[in-house]
A and B are shown apart, each in its own frame.
Chain A
Amino acid sequence: MAGVPKTRGAIIALALLGMGVSAYLAYEHFCGPIACIGQGCALVDQSVYCTIYGLPISVLGIVTYAAILGLALASLRLKEPLAAWLYLGVFGLSLSGTIFSAYLTYLEFAVIRAFCTWCVISAVTITTIFGLAAAEVKRTTSALAHRA
């Protein structure tokens, strides 16, 4: 079990990094370069990909990383099997995050056409969190299985 806290420690550190990076990059990259298009720009403010129905992607990023951070911290403190269930949450959220991050990376290169170092850092961060969580999810499952 010694490896588990180490992995979770890494996930916690990465989630903290991700919170900072996602907030910065979503604001700077998706809300930064902008233009007025067609008949208006008061509403087509910033890139149309900056928000999802009014929710800024920056907020989405912060919330996701914060949730991962919270779940990972709680899973360290709480006892099994609750800890294992929370860890499944980390696994699921990081998987969603990785997929969505891949989509954002696609937008950057194919639609917005702007290279962004911070975006790549965030994409790598969430993918690494997912990799770590995935590596441990089997062990978590077997812990649950043993308990059952």
Chain B
Amino acid sequence: MTRKSGRFFLNPILIVIVAAVLLAAALIAASQLSARQRQQIPIGPQGPQPGQEQPSTQPPVPPQQPVAPAMAVTAQPTKGSPDAPVTIIEFAEFYCPYCARYLWETYPKIESDYIAKGLVRYQFHNLIVHGPVALLAAVAGECAHEQGKFWPLHDRLFESTFPGRNLSQPQELKVADLERLAGAVGLNLESFNSCLESYDTKFNSCFSDYNNCTAGGTDRESCAAAFNVCLAADPMFQKVLEDQEELSRLIAQLPPEEEAQAQRLGTPTFFINGHILIGAQPYENFKKMIDRELEKTRR
């Protein structure tokens, strides 16, 4: 009887094992499918810009350039001592909630622990992930940088795209909003407004060409390429483009073991003496990498 029952009662264990394995497999499959689905959701934080009937017709702005020959990245917005042994290059966007979170939670510690002590030189670059609306804000930053007042506008921009520091509800800033912010941080409004408005006019004219191009039956990619060429005539857009080229250059110079990370690029992305760090990671992760670089220079 015991033998027979023993066999019989082995079955519940087997059944539980099979059920447990199936449950785990289902969870793993669900996790993978869910992750894949979430990666595919294309969503901007806000509606289309003036002149854009449908967000889906947004041309890809700006394009990822092929690796550019060493270009002179001059006069980027920079903080800290030029002789600092470690350079952090940030790629960020004013509509990216994680860039804002990084700025408010992590950056202050980097500034007090390293930048203020002359150990780190800090540089900002644009990386556009939210299309034309984010591009406009990036151009506003470039226009402020023309007057050497990038950082005050930078800080004010993040406070304005995420009012009350509410990261879940980005607010779209239009040309007039950006001009108001520029006034609030003490920029010369005459040159700032002219800088921003000439970009905006150029954008609208290029975008109208783009719409005509697609309406005329030309394939979207060619129209988008023409759009980029058209807009590249604007000097401020050109600067944002140069940021993308700088990104390509930095990626091309990554150590081989870090190359895979660059395939999952997002904002914010940092290069710490050429080593990549992606995301609004905890301060400890920055500290670890910065300290490692400082250690190298002491040797």
Interface members, chain B 98-142 (any A CB < 8 Å): 98-99, 129-131
Using an 8 Å CB-CB cutoff, how does the interface string of B253-274 with A read, 1 for contact, 0 for none? Answer: 0000000110011111100000
**Cβ contact within 8 Å between B280 and A35:** yes
Residue from the set A37, A57, A93, A103 with the largest chain B CB neighbour count within 10 Å: A37
**Cβ contact within 8 Å between A39 and B43:** yes
Interfacial chain A residues near B281, Cβ < 8 Å: 32-33, 114
**Cβ contact within 8 Å between A40 and B38:** no
**Cβ contact within 8 Å between B24 and A40:** no
Cα distance, A34 to B28, chains bound together (Å): 21
| Contact A146-B99, Cβ < 8 Å, known A33-B285, A35-B269, A88-B16 | no
**Cβ contact within 8 Å between B2 and A41:** no
Interfacial chain B residues near A45, Cβ < 8 Å: 97
Interfacial chain A residues near B131, Cβ < 8 Å: 39
A16 at interface, CB cutoff 8 A: no
B183 at interface, CB cutoff 8 A: no
| Contact A44-B280, Cβ < 8 Å, known A95-B21, A137-B13 | no
Using an 8 Å CB-CB cutoff, how does the interface string of A64-103 with B read, 1 for contact, 0 for none? Answer: 0000000000000000000001001101110111011001
Cα distance, A39 to B38, chains bound together (Å): 12
| Contact A38-B24, Cβ < 8 Å, known A52-B30, A92-B19 | no
Determine the interface band of chain B, counting residues with CB < 8 A from chain A: 35 or more
- Of B8, B44, B282, which is within 8 A of A40 by CB? B44
Query: Least Cβ distance of A55 to chain B in Å?
Result: 9
Query: Least Cβ distance of A102 to chain B in Å?
Result: 9
Interface members, chain B 35-53 (any A CB < 8 Å): 35-36, 38-39, 41-45
A1 at interface, CB cutoff 8 A: no
The residue in chain B whose Cβ has the minimal distance to the Cβ of A90 is B16
A6 at interface, CB cutoff 8 A: no
* Number of residue pairs spanning A and B whose beta carbons lie under 8 angstroms apart: 148
**Cβ contact within 8 Å between A144 and B9:** yes
**Cβ contact within 8 Å between B130 and A36:** yes
Cα distance, A145 to B24, chains bound together (Å): 28
**Cβ contact within 8 Å between A95 and B129:** no
The residue in chain B whose Cβ has the minimal distance to the Cβ of A104 is B31
Interfacial chain A residues near B6, Cβ < 8 Å: 141-142, 145
**Cβ contact within 8 Å between B280 and A40:** no
A27 at interface, CB cutoff 8 A: no
Cα distance, A37 to B262, chains bound together (Å): 12
B297 at interface, CB cutoff 8 A: no
**Cβ contact within 8 Å between B24 and A99:** yes
Query: Least Cβ distance of B259 to chain A in Å?
Result: 12
**Cβ contact within 8 Å between A35 and B267:** yes
B93 at interface, CB cutoff 8 A: yes
Interfacial chain B residues near A135, Cβ < 8 Å: none
Interfacial chain B residues near A2, Cβ < 8 Å: none
| Contact A103-B8, Cβ < 8 Å, known A33-B280, A36-B96 | no
Cα distance, A134 to B43, chains bound together (Å): 47
- Of B13, B27, B41, B269, which is within 8 A of A44 by CB? B41
Interfacial chain A residues near B265, Cβ < 8 Å: 35, 37
A128 at interface, CB cutoff 8 A: no
Cα distance, A85 to B13, chains bound together (Å): 10
**Cβ contact within 8 Å between A42 and B280:** no
A residues with CB within 8 A of B: 28, 32-45, 48-49, 51-53, 57, 60, 85, 88-89, 91-93, 95-97, 99-100, 103, 113-114, 137, 141-142, 144-146, 148
13 new A-B contacts, CB < 8 A, other than A36-B129, A40-B43, are A32-B282, A37-B265, A39-B43, A40-B44, A41-B97, A42-B43, A42-B97, A51-B34, A95-B24, A96-B20, A97-B24, A100-B28, A113-B260
Pairs of residues from A and B, 8 with the lowest C-beta to C-beta distance, nearest first: A35-B266, A99-B24, A40-B43, A95-B20, A37-B266, A48-B35, A92-B16, A39-B42
**18 A-B contacts (beta carbon < 8 Å):** A32-B281, A33-B280, A33-B285, A36-B267, A38-B266, A41-B98, A42-B168, A48-B39, A49-B35, A95-B16, A96-B23, A96-B24, A103-B27, A114-B281, A114-B285, A141-B12, A144-B12, A145-B8
